[in-house]
Amino acid sequence: MGNGVVFQAAVAIVAGLVVSVLLFVPFVALSYRRRGRLSAGRMLAWLAAVIYFWAIWAYTLLPLLQVGSYRCAGINLDPLGFIPDIQRALAAGGNPLRRTAIQQLVLNVALFMPLGFFLRTLAGRGVLVATAAGFGVSAMVEFTQLTGVWGLYPCAYRVFDVVDLQTNTLGALLGSVVALLVPGAWRRAGIRPEAALPHPVTRGRRMLAMLCDVLAATLLGFATTAAFTTAVSLIDPDSTLPQGSYASWLGSGLPAAVWLVLILATGRSVGDYAVQLRYRGGRQPIPLARLMRALGGIPGYALLGLPSLSGNLQAPFALAALLAWMATPQGRGLPGLLSGQDLADARATHEADARPQNEALPRGK
């Protein structure tokens, strides 16, 4: 049983981390548009919420059993059926928390308390929504068990228990009440007025933009490579095409092309959009400045990874980008050095935009 709990926890953590990585860039972009910044505490809370979501399913459904290795489970539709079990547990003497009947009730309540807590602290929802969500999620879990994982098994291998439905719903309600202890300013989930105002351009914010660019480009390259390899295998399993070489070209070339077109058209990369930054000013013509800005970012890095180039040129490029980020004001890095531009908040006022292009912005604007 101990190994089973560890396995379920590992599945929840791994699945939660994978989903969080996939959603990181949209999460950063949404945070800057709704709250004006990215809060480390709120980011960790959302990570915990994602892992918790997977934990619910892992602890209620896993491990999946082999057909024929279990007996079909029963159904309990008596909402008060737990009372005799509690009475026997209390009458037995000793510590009641050591009794299985009581432990099961307590754990069912505790399992759904985070649901109500997260709904209030992250989504700004109250007791009614938490109670309804607790009932809905618990019902989905119970019916998944009742139907043998929706027909995957010929019958249920875990008991459909209306008492679980009750205690899970109670847990979500209690979690919402406990969340009232969290300061109200932290619990407000709506768009904040300060989100539309310019914020200081810091080195950390620029690093976050770089991280978003690298992550988004890597995921795009990986998805492109996987899709191409899978498509070739399905269309012509006996193909003699050098799939590895073509896949590498696509995996590096497509992100480079996407980022290059985006920067040439708008002057901003995916990371710049996510954290509300832009490069501005400089003495070069805008098209040339944007091209140089692109070559100092993802397009330059991706092009160095093409198979036709010998040697590992991406590692020196990444090191140079890191050193430039550390050495330049506001962390404008290689894009700023090559383009001669400064960094500014993309929400800057029109008055700030009216500055001459060759006039550097003060730091933190």
What confidence tens digit (pLDDT) does each residue in 300-335 have? 998 887 766 555 788 899 999 999 999 999 999 999
Burial call 253-270: b when 16+ CB within 10 Å, e when fewer:
bbbbebbbebbeeebbbb
Lowest mean pLDDT across 209-223, 266-280, 305-319, 333-347 = 305-319
344 contacts 352 by C-beta, under 8 angstroms: yes
Distance CA 223, CA 218 (A): 8
Query: What's the whole-model pTM score?
Result: 0.81
In the predicted model, what is the mean pLDDT of residues 155-170? 88
The alpha carbon torsion through 331, 334, 340, 342 (nearest 10 deg) reads -20
What confidence tens digit (pLDDT) does each residue in 77-106 have? 888 877 887 877 777 766 766 777 788 888
284 contacts 340 by C-beta, under 8 angstroms: yes
As a whole number, the mean pLDDT across the chain is: 84
24 vs 357: which has the higher pLDDT: 24
Burial call 140-160: b when 16+ CB within 10 Å, e when fewer:
ebbebbbebeeeebeebbbeb
Lowest mean pLDDT across 59-68, 72-81, 92-101, 239-248 = 239-248
252 contacts 278 by C-beta, under 8 angstroms: no
Instruction: Give the model's confidence band at 238: pLDDT under 50 very low, under 70 low, under 90 confident, else very high.
Output: low
What confidence tens digit (pLDDT) does each residue in 167-205 have? 999 999 999 999 999 887 676 766 777 778 888 899 999
Q: What is the pLDDT of residue 353?
A: 41
> Phi, psi (5° rounding) for residue 354?
-80, -5
Sequence-separated (6 or more) residues with CB below 8 Å from residue 66: none
pLDDT at residue 337 is higher than 90 = yes
SS3 280: strand
Whole-number percent of the chain with pLDDT over 70? 87
Q: What is the pLDDT of residue 45?
A: 92
Instruction: Give the model's confidence band at 344: pLDDT under 50 very low, under 70 low, under 90 confident, else very high.
Output: very high
206 contacts 277 by C-beta, under 8 angstroms: yes
Q: What is the pLDDT of residue 361?
A: 38
209 vs 68: which has the higher pLDDT: 209
Q: What is the pLDDT of residue 189?
A: 67
In the predicted model, what is the mean pLDDT of residues 265-276? 95
In the predicted model, what is the mean pLDDT of residues 359-364? 38
What confidence tens digit (pLDDT) does each residue in 15-43 have? 999 999 999 999 999 999 988 888 888 89
In the predicted model, what is the mean pLDDT of residues 259-286? 93
> Phi, psi (5° rounding) for residue 66?
-75, 140
Other C-beta atoms lying within 10 Å of the C-beta of residue 39: 13
Whole-number percent of the chain with pLDDT over 90? 47
